[in-house]
A and B are shown apart, each in its own frame.
Chain A
Amino acid sequence: MSARTASEPYAPRGFGLALESAAAWLLAVLWLLPLLYAFWTAFHPSEFSARFTLTAPLTLENFATAWNAAPFARYFLNTFLLVTMILVCQFALCTLAAYAFARYSFRGREVAFTLVLVQLMIMPDVLIVENYRTMSRLGILDSIPAIALPYVASAFGIFLLRQTFKTVPKELDDAARVEGASALQVLWRVYVPLARPIYVAYGLVSVSYHWNNFLWPLIVTNSVESRPLTVGLQVFSSTDQGIDWAVICAATLMTSGPLLVAFLLFQRQFVQSFMRAGIR
């Protein structure tokens, strides 16, 4: 204890710590309030939507109603396919490109890398008009690949992996090559295994980003067969449902459920991944 206080002279103690804890908790409750409210509404009959009585009966009826009112099963499948497709393609493309940038010196490398970095500022999110036109020309409007394609070559992923690959000792690379491994074999056997934590971090960030993405999917999709959950939820809550808040809250929690559960279970990994992905 004494060692700790000596090394942290500014850590609050006693009354100060209690005051700080209280303030932090107050803000935390405030922060969770909208979510707790949604939970209350979703798990109680709609006549208790805005009345808080402890005797209110719990029910799953709202979830059943929501599930039956819209093809959520299909939406879940679409989102799952979308997220998987994007992740697999991002891993493949970004790994190859990052390896080229990290370990090859060739003419035009700086220019190419600058061209990649352009995407950090001009994200596909803002190029909706032209990308819609492109998808229309390609004839793939209203399909899951159309949602995925603009995000597959991710500047963020390339940058992140390049930074990681650069920390791999050159001697490891040379050693593998002396033993006769080709460039791709070296990449696969040396670089990728060493960068595993970064892949996990990037994967978590990518999955939660694309699970939550809304505007572009809203624009390119037009049918139940291709709509991801976010768009499905919007269609459901704006047209089908009037104002039965209990059912809308149930649908809302249902769509964010898997991500929320995953977050609660792997909280530390999530926070560290977002941190790691942002910092590098």
Chain B
Amino acid sequence: MSERITASPEHTSPRARGEVGAHGAPGEGLTRDVTDPSSAPHPDPLPASGEREKHRTRRAAPEATLNAIHAWLLLLPAMALLALFTHWPAFATFIDSFWSTPRPRRPSRFIGIDTYRHMLDDPVFWQSLTNNFWFALGTIPISMALALLMALWVNDRIAGRALVRMAYFTPTVLPMIAVANIWLFFYTPQYGLLEQFRSLFGLPSHNWLGTPDYALAAVIVVAIWKEAGFFMIFYLAALQTISPTLAEAAALEGASRWTFFRRVQLPLLMPTTLFVLVNAVINAFRMVDHIIVMTRGGPDNATSLLLFYIYEVGFKFWDTNYAAALTVVLLIILGVTALGQYFFLERRVHYR
């Protein structure tokens, strides 16, 4: 099991995983159990396999071709749809960003990098990008730290830990759109629960989502609440695979609880941390449902995130080619994340 967990960050580096699998990594108990009974009916495979070997060498070339045709036929439906809805749109986004948006009187024409010049002069673009940066910086560290804390707590024998775990995880299964509605109510000035707490302590009423200074923070809180429980389960899974003998050994050496956490648990959780980090970065640039429900990017664009701005430009103002140029920026951000993950993970995580 431990191999599986260390492999978690290799989510996108399957070649390494593949090798492990090919060399017979410990499979699931299930597959192991089935191996024996069904290979039993062939107690002396020698003659059969020898015959097959001959068979194979005789018609190697056509068989290889046939094999390839089979494989590509199996791949065809999935690859066609991937090409149509992932590869082509990514490519078309790039091309479209160099053309003007077609209008009723003016067909689309090639304008080169004009759209990008316009983008550099667009204050809303810069604000959305900055907001998104702060949104990522606000959500990622806090939700990951909380996730680790939650996992450590739920991993110990605290009273009612199944209930506690459920409480942490519940936001993950609920639609963002639904919980955003609830949080909107939560934040309502004078009326919402948060306000009632404040008035209990004699603090003045405050319009959290209506004030540019606080709106982004209010939205960040919702994102943290939604994500921490999801990340918790990865930490929990990783913690459960850390061998108890390590704790015994550390205790024999007289290490404190903190030292054990810092020197043993935390390094062993490193692959999980990086895996969660990549997911968190992607999510920070993908989550916009709550923005649409709670603030619509306002007040004064204070909560406009990049994808939300793409949505507004593309489907409110119908400036599709400008939206394409903005999408290129988003794709570059995601691409850099992917490359960073590839190089950083490949180097740092496989120290074992």
Instruction: Enumerate chain A interface residues (CB-CB to B < 8 A).
Output: 6-12, 17, 20-21, 23-25, 27-29, 31-35, 37-38, 41, 49-50, 92-94, 96-97, 99-101, 104-107, 109-110, 112-113, 115-134, 149-150, 152-153, 155, 158-159, 162-163, 166-169, 171-172, 175, 178, 183, 194, 197, 208, 211-212, 214-215, 218-219, 229-230, 233-234, 237-238, 245, 248-249, 252-253, 255-256, 259-260, 263-264, 267, 270-271, 274-275, 278-280
Name the distance in Å between A124's Cβ and chain B's nearest Cβ: 6
Q: How far is the CB of A22 from chain B (nearest CB, A)?
A: 9
| CB <8 Å contact, B86 and A127 | yes
Contact of A107 among B68, B84, B169 (CB under 8 A): B68
Neighbouring B residues of A275 by C-beta, 8 Å: 233-234, 236-237
Asked, given contacts A104-B71, A124-B86, A128-B314, whether A149 binds B4 with beta carbons under 8 Å apart, the answer is: no
Residues of chain B within 8 A of A119, CB atoms compared:
82, 86
Report B81-94 CB contacts with A as 1/0, cut-off 8 Å: 11011111110110
Residues 11-43 of B, flagged 1 when their CB comes within 8 A of A and 0 if not, give 110110110011001011011001100110110
**Sample of 20 further A-B pairs with CB below 8 A, known A37-B186, A118-B86:** A10-B247, A24-B158, A28-B163, A31-B167, A41-B185, A99-B74, A115-B87, A116-B78, A126-B330, A126-B334, A166-B21, A194-B30, A197-B28, A215-B292, A219-B311, A230-B175, A237-B293, A248-B181, A252-B181, A278-B8
Residues of A close to B116: CB separation below 8 A: none
Q: Are A171 and B320 in contact (CB under 8 A)?
A: no
- CA A112 – CA B150 in complex, angstroms? 39
Instruction: Digitize B323-335: 1 where CB-to-A-CB distance is under 8 Å, 0 elsewhere.
Output: 1100100110011
**In this complex, what residue of A is CB-closest to B249?**
A9
B88 CB to closest chain A CB, in angstroms? Answer: 8
- Assuming the contacts A28-B164, A120-B11, A219-B315, asked whether A126 and B286 have C-beta atoms less than 8 A apart, the reply is yes
Q: Within the assembled complex, what's the spacing in Å between the Cα atoms of A121 and B344?
A: 16
CB of B165 within 8 A of CB of A23, answer no
| From B185, B186, B279, B335, residue with most partner A Cβ within 10 Å | B185
CB atoms of A256 and B178 under 8 A apart: yes
Please name the residue on chain B nearest to A119 by beta carbon. Answer: B86
Within 8 Å CB of B114, what residues of A?
Answer: none
Residues of B within 8 A of A97 (CB): 74-75, 77-79
Closest 3 CB pairs of A and B: A130-B89, A9-B251, A153-B81
Residues of B within 8 A of A12 (CB): 156
| Cβ-neighbour of B71 out of A33, A109, A162 (below 8 A) | A109
Interface contact B175-A163, CB-CB below 8 Å: no
- Which residues of B sit under 8 angstroms from A264, Cβ to Cβ? 166
Q: Do the beta carbons of A96 and B21 come within 8 Å of each other?
A: no
* A-chain residues with CB within 8 Å of residue B163 when the two chains form the complex: 28
The answer to whether A280 and B39 touch (CB under 8 A), given A11-B156, A37-B193, A163-B21, is no
A246 closest partner in B (C-beta): B185
CA distance A183 to B75 in the complex (A): 14
Contacts of B137 in A (CB 8 A): none
Tell me how far the C-beta of A40 lies from the nearest C-beta in chain B, rounded to whole angstroms. 9
Contact: A133 with B320, CB < 8 Å?
A: yes
Can you pick out 7 interface pairs between chain A and chain B where the beta carbons lie within 8 Å of each other?
A: A9-B247, A28-B167, A123-B282, A153-B85, A172-B35, A215-B289, A278-B11
Which range holds the interface residue count of chain B? 35 or more
Tell me if B140 is interfacial: C-beta within 8 Å of chain A.
no
Known contacts: A93-B77, A94-B78, A256-B175. The answer to whether A171 contacts B93 by CB under 8 A is no
Would you call B324 and A130 a contact (CB within 8 A)?
A: yes
Q: Contact: B225 with A31, CB < 8 Å?
A: yes
- Which residues of B sit under 8 angstroms from A133, Cβ to Cβ? 92, 320
Contact between B327 and A278, CB atoms less than 8 A apart: no
A residues less than 8 Å from B172 (CB atoms): 274
B8 touches A279 (CB 8 A): yes
| B48 in the interface (beta carbon within 8 A) | yes
Q: How far is the CA of A81 from the CA of B251 in the complex (A)?
A: 56
Kindly provide the distance from the CB of B21 to the nearest chain A CB, expressed in whole angstroms.
4
Instruction: Give the docked Cα–Cα distance between A130 and B85 (Å).
Output: 9
In the assembled complex, the CB of A41 is this many whole angstroms from the nearest CB of chain B, namely 7
B174 lies within 8 A of A259 (CB): yes
- Of B11, B183, B196, which is in contact with the most chain A CB atoms at under 10 Å from its CB? B11
